[in-house]
Structure 1
Amino acid sequence: MNLAEAPEPRCTICTRALYADEIGRYACHPCARRCDEQLLELAGPRGLYAKLGSRLAPGSGSGGPAVSGSRTAPVPLRLDVLNLLTAGGPVLGPLETWVRDWEARGRAELNEAGTLQQRVNHAVSTLRFNLEWAVANHEAFDEFAREIHLMHRQCAVPVAGERPPRAIPVTCPCGAVLRVTLDTPKVSCYGCHTQYGHSEVLRLPVAERRAAA
């Protein structure tokens, strides 16, 4: 291939052209720094994961008073928040999956001992310690960064009392209507089983109202 025709190296996350000091990396410095900051904000006693415990009561975090004044969250609990706090939920589960992946490459060590908070802290610390290695060597760093962004967003929404992102109906070429949000990392079409990544699913046409009904 003619060198003049070689594709310009780009960040796999924001897709901008890489600067000279970023060549050989899978992500630009700003995208890698954003991923590191989001990991940092998840862990610790004042992190987003720890703050979720105070958002279990219906009505908490919405700007108004909590349903109950007791220290124990009333029943029913906010199941969306409770799910975020479970061992196999969308926070600790993916974090430890990535630690296992990096462990297989000799760059991390999984520790499933201790409380869920301690496991989150350990996973975040391990991933942050090896982040620069991953940016330069892990071919799926873009997938990793998008999953970190998603779990950060999922934790930040209830903590800040925001409404969850609105679902948008889009149409797969097979005719199936998929409901996605701007935070959807990937989705599998139930009609034809096509796998769509984040950017791919957002390029699908918005479904007509009669199709989305």
Structure 2
Amino acid sequence: MHTNLDDASPRCTCCGRNLYADELQHYGCRICLDRTDLDLRAFAGSDGLYARLGARLMPGSSAGGPSVSGSRTAPIPVRLEPLSLIARGGVVTILQTWIIDWHEQLDYRHPRWEGDLQQQCDQAVKRLRTLLPWAAERHVAFDEFSREIGQLRRRCEAQISGERPPRRIPLQCPCGVVLKVTLDSPGQQCGGCQTHYGHDELFKQLPLAERNAA
């Protein structure tokens, strides 16, 4: 049951938008569900983010040009950040961990992983997308899942394009907790007082946090 049902205007736990009448028992609105589905789809397939990361392992290859080292010493054989994303403990493990959690919540049997890591990535994406409507409606941590998948997608895209990740801005909630958001954040829930802030509320209502607080 949605924890916001006692509120006069129940809100999406991801973005803070008011929920429509057919969403009142949900944790995530349809907009955030669709956005999260797009984020998941971005990882899968031969031209997906996970497959493309493998081509960015060589030093100097992040921008699509030839490998170039700016040092006189021998470079590390591979770029560590893309490697950490495509190896065990990276993208595939994060996706599989959420599947295990969802299966436990639904009292389903433990999932089985088959094939190489690319195949497991594709299988994990397919399974998560299948269960996504349930999670948006019933899983108390849907906002955490949606946020983590979005951040993971941006990390992968940054490694592929060579762009720096967006700067995180520290904003001070009245309860004292510092929220670190980006300019494209759809919204965020304060981990201290559980207040939901939409995008406009974040940047119009909350002041920048003091340096020592951030």
TM, length-normalised to structure 2: 0.72
Match of 1:25 in 2: 26
Match of 1:191 in 2: none
1:108–1:126: 8 Å Cα contact kept in structure 2? no
Residue 120 of structure 2 corresponds to residue 114 of structure 1: no
2:11–2:18: 8 Å Cα contact kept in structure 1? yes
Match of 1:93 in 2: 93
Deviates more, 1:136-145 or 1:59-68: 59-68
2:171–2:181: 8 Å Cα contact kept in structure 1? no
Aligned alpha-carbon RMSD (Å): 3.6
Cα deviation, residue 170, structure 1: 8.5
Amino acid at match of 1:43: A
Report the Cα distance in structure 2 between the residues aligned to 1:98 and 1:158, rounded to whole angstroms. Answer: 23
Cα deviation, residue 107, structure 1: 5.3
Report the Cα distance in structure 1 between the residues aligned to 2:37 and 2:68, rounded to whole angstroms. Answer: 36
Structure 2 stretches of 5 or more lacking a match?
Answer: 1-5, 70-74, 173-177, 186-190, 198-202
Deviates more, 1:77-86 or 1:18-27: 18-27
Please list the CA deviations of residues 99-145 of structure 1 after superposition, one character each: whole Å capped at 9, or x if unmatched. Answer: 10111123575222321111111111100011111111111111111
Match of 2:147 in 1: 146
Secondary structure of the 1:7 match is coil
Residue 87 of structure 2 corresponds to residue 78 of structure 1: no
Report the Cα distance in structure 2 between the residues aligned to 1:6 and 1:146, rounded to whole angstroms. Answer: 23
Measured at CA, do residues 15 and 52 of structure 1 come closer, stay the same or move farther in structure 2, by a change above 3 Å? same
Match of 1:135 in 2: 136
Match of 2:156 in 1: 155
Higher RCO (Cα < 8 Å, 6 or more apart): 2
2:154–2:165: 8 Å Cα contact kept in structure 1? no
Cα deviation, residue 7, structure 1: 2.9
1:108–1:127: 8 Å Cα contact kept in structure 2? no
Measured at CA, do residues 22 and 164 of structure 1 come closer, stay the same or move farther in structure 2, by a change above 3 Å? same
Q: How does 1:181-200 map to 2 (within 5 A)?
A: 182=182
Match of 1:174 in 2: none
Measured at CA, do residues 168 and 132 of structure 1 come closer, stay the same or move farther in structure 2, by a change above 3 Å? closer
What percent identity do the matched residue pairs reach?
Answer: 45
Structure 1 stretches of 5 or more lacking a match?
Answer: 69-73, 172-177, 185-193
Amino acid at match of 1:133: W
Please list the CA deviations of residues 73-97 of structure 1 after superposition, one character each: whole Å capped at 9, or x if unmatched. Answer: x8431101110011112x1222111
Secondary structure of the 2:125 match is helix
Cα deviation, residue 205, structure 1: 5.2
Secondary structure of the 2:36 match is helix
Please list the CA deviations of residues 6-57 of structure 1 after superposition, one character each: whole Å capped at 9, or x if unmatched. Answer: 4311111110101223222111111100000110011111100110001111
When the two structures are aligned, how many residues end up with a matched partner? 188
Amino acid at match of 1:114: G
